[in-house]
Amino acid sequence: MASLDQIFVTLKEQLVQLFPAVLQPYVGVLLSIVAIMAVFPGIFALTTVVERKLLARFQNRPGPNRVGIPLTKIRLAGFGQFAADGIKSLTKEDIIPRNADRKVHFIAPFVLVVPAFLALSVLPIGRNMTALDFPETGLLFFFAIGAATELSVFMAGWSSRNKYSLLGAMRGIAQMLSYEIPLILSSLTVVMMVGSLSLVTIVERQTSVQWGFFHSWHVFTPWGFAGFLLFLTAACAEANRTPFDLPEAESELVAGYFTEYSGFKFALFFLGEYLGMFAISGVAISLFLGGWSAPFTFLDWVPSWLWFFGKLFAFILFFIWLRGTLPRLRVDQLMNLAWKFMLPMCLLNLLVVGVWHFTAEWNELLRWSLATVLLAGPYWLFSRSFEARFKPRTYRYAADSPAAPVVAPVAPQVPI
């Protein structure tokens, strides 16, 4: 089973050996790039179909189930849809608005996609399988690269010279900037606990066995669970997924910052969004869900990369599920959630991690209950005060309507 676990690593080594020694490092890099450029867009293609099918099922519809192999009657349950969509978007006319800033308009999608690929390359997708390993700064690299997303959103929104684009871009940037703080703070808990910024080290630390049968994933601790939930929420916002899809709210902003994009560039935006989602899910997996490690020790025989991609797929399904369930937030609700609820919870979580670190010698039960109380109490308090502001809305004129009959008898007096 160890051979199956390392099959891709060995394969790469064998392939590299075929080349002269001078070229070997370059070929190795090239192979990693090709692997990433092939695998993740492949998952993207699959995700687009799965998302549409599942969303349809959540709404009691059958979803796409027709496109299969052309010229035959084989339908593949609709899984040929991504090829049809891809061909359509590649052959569509590329429209650039007359007033648009052509250069910026052209560059924007690439500014989104290239960093997304870079961000994917730091993920440990299996044992010894990390394309770009920064032993000192892996996580920092990821967050630094994520900054390019905002730039791309701005460039796309501003260069289109369209009010919806600009509104979407402004919303998007405000949202991403706000949620970057909870995102970084919640991942900081793990960094504090592990003492390293390297994603590889963080994952390896979670492979240690606890109580003889399961791996000590960070999500199995109070602070890790809270951090995971906070990270998940912030990740949802960073990836512009429903319920945080305000930047591209199609019912109000047409398509947000990529309203004026069509054809190939639109496809690039679409790809970039999904790659960003995969990357942030991958980081969540590496930070909290043990990366490529199996949940239980008796499942260790399953290859590590299979675990990673399985978890990634679970994440994708969860995001789709959320999209099928939750309505979109309002802008003020969005900002309130980030600044008045998530930020204090993140800071509190940092405190709890400190407590957890310094109570390592304590009785497990005592330690657990202390951390849980420290997190759950303020959570309850925060959410109470937070929800107090979300009472069912009353509308002034609707509330006034009972007063209307009082006015009516007055009206006949006017002629007198």
Partner 1 sequence: MNFIFAILAGLTVGAAFAAMTLRNLVHCALCLTVSLIGLALLYLQLGAEFAGFVQVLVYVGAVAILILFAVLLTRGGEAPVGRITNSLGAGLLVAAAVFGVLAWAIIGSSALKALPKETPQPALLVKAVGDKLMGEFVLPLQGIALLLTAALLGAVVIAMREKSSPAGVAVDSRSATRNP
Partner 2 sequence: MIGIGIVKGLVQTAKNLIGTYTDKERLVTIEYPEERQPLTEATRQFPFLVYDGDDPMKGLRCTACQICEKECPPKCIYIVKSKDKRVDYKGQNQFYPAIYDIDYSVCMSCQICVEVCPFESIKMDTAFELSTADRFGGLLVNKHQLAKSNTHYHQIHPTEAAASDEAMNLERAKAAAKAKADVEAKAKAAAAKAAATPTASPEASPELPKPAAALPKMPM
Binding interface with partner 1 (CB under 8 A)? 101, 104, 134, 136-137, 140-141, 143-148, 150-151, 154-155, 158, 166, 170, 173, 177, 180, 195-197, 396, 403
Smallest gap, in angstroms, from Cβ of residue 148 to partner 1? 7
Nearer to partner 1, 166 or 230 (CB): 166
Smallest gap, in angstroms, from Cβ of residue 155 to partner 1? 7
Residue bearing tokens 């924007």: 108
Smallest gap, in angstroms, from Cβ of residue 155 to partner 2? 34
Nearer to partner 1, 287 or 312 (CB): 287
Smallest gap, in angstroms, from Cβ of residue 241 to partner 1? 20
Sign of the Cα pseudo-torsion (391, 396, 397, 400, in order): positive
Q: Which does 322 bind (CB under 5 to 8 A by kind): partner 1, partner 2, none?
A: partner 2
CA distance 55 to 43: 17
The pair phi, psi for residue 214, each rounded to 5°, is -130, 155
Q: Which does 389 bind (CB under 5 to 8 A by kind): partner 2, partner 1, none?
A: none
Smallest gap, in angstroms, from Cβ of residue 176 to partner 1? 9
Q: Which does 197 bind (CB under 5 to 8 A by kind): partner 1, partner 2, none?
A: partner 1
Q: What is the DSSP string of 113-176?
A: HHHHHHHHHTS--BTTB-SS--TTTHHHHHHHHHHHHHHHHHHHHHHTT-HHHHHHHHHHHHHH
Q: Which does 173 bind (CB under 5 to 8 A by kind): partner 2, partner 1, none?
A: partner 1
The DSSP secondary-structure symbol of 402 reads G
Q: Which does 155 bind (CB under 5 to 8 A by kind): partner 1, partner 2, none?
A: partner 1
Q: Which does 134 bind (CB under 5 to 8 A by kind): partner 2, partner 1, none?
A: partner 1
Q: Which does 151 bind (CB under 5 to 8 A by kind): partner 1, partner 2, none?
A: partner 1
Smallest gap, in angstroms, from Cβ of residue 95 to partner 2? 21
Cβ neighbours of residue 165 under 8 Å, at least 6 residues apart? 156, 157, 158, 256, 257, 258, 259, 260
Residues that bind partner 2 (CB under 8 A): 54, 57-62, 65, 321-322, 324-326, 341, 379-380, 382-384, 386-387
List Cα–Cα distances, 160 to 6, 149, 169, 267, 273, in angstroms.
Answer: 47, 17, 10, 16, 18
Nearer to partner 2, 299 or 381 (CB): 381
Nearer to partner 1, 159 or 293 (CB): 159
CA distance 273 to 241: 9
Sign of the Cα pseudo-torsion (104, 148, 34, 22, in order): positive
SS3 of residue 385 by DSSP: helix
Nearer to partner 1, 16 or 194 (CB): 194
Q: What is the DSSP string of 276-343?
A: HHHHHHHHHHHHHS-TT--SBGGGTTS-HHHHHHHHHHHHHHHHHHHHHHPPPPPHHHHHHIIIIIIH
Smallest gap, in angstroms, from Cβ of residue 72 to partner 2? 16
297 CB neighbour count, 10 Å cutoff: 15
Nearer to partner 2, 158 or 288 (CB): 288
Smallest gap, in angstroms, from Cβ of residue 293 to partner 1? 24
